[in-house]
């Protein structure tokens, strides 16, 4: 069971628009850094900093494939965040609009 302190730390991470958007994107599917950079229209170092914070906070997983790292949600022990993300708008259209060659 999650305690109030753990919930507070998780919610603090989501108080940033970019990090909340990243989790909303990852709710749809796993993505690599280059995909997230393209969708957020920001720099790779900026996205990497947000991903590092989310990973340190235990909210995402990373999997290395060839030279790319792919990120996915890690919320199995945080059902309150799944409920929160379920109320956010879908990002499917932004993911579908990706340049499919961006990570190749």
Domains of the chain listed by start with CATH number: 4-89 (1.10.10.10)
Q: What is the mean pLDDT of residues 55-81?
A: 93
The backbone region for 98, taken as left when phi is positive above 0, alpha when psi lies in -120 to 50, beta otherwise, is beta
Q: Is the pLDDT of residue 51 over 90?
A: yes
Q: What is the mean pLDDT of residues 65-78?
A: 92
pLDDT at 104: 56
Average pLDDT, the chain: 91
Distance CA 38, CA 61 (A): 20
Contact 24, 37 (CB under 8 A): no
Residues contacting residue 79 through CB under 8 Å, at least 6 positions apart? none
pLDDT at 47: 97
Q: Which residue has the tokens 């919320």?
A: 75
Contact 35, 28 (CB under 8 A): no
pLDDT at 70: 95
pLDDT-derived band at 102 (thresholds 50, 70, 90) equals: low
């Amino acid at each position: 069971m999650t305690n109030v302190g753990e919930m507070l730390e998780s919610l603090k991470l989501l108080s940033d628009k970019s990090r909340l958007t990243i989790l909303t994107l990852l709710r749809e599917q796993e993505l690599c850094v280059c995909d997230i950079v393209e969708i957020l229209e920001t720099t790779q170092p900026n996205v990497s900093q947000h991903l590092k914070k989310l990973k340190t906070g235990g909210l995402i997983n990373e999997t290395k494939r060839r030279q790319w790292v792919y990120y996915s949600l890690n919320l199995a022990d945080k059902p309150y965040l799944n409920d929160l993300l379920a109320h956010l708008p879908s990002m499917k259209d932004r993911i579908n609009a990706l340049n499919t060659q961006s990570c190749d």
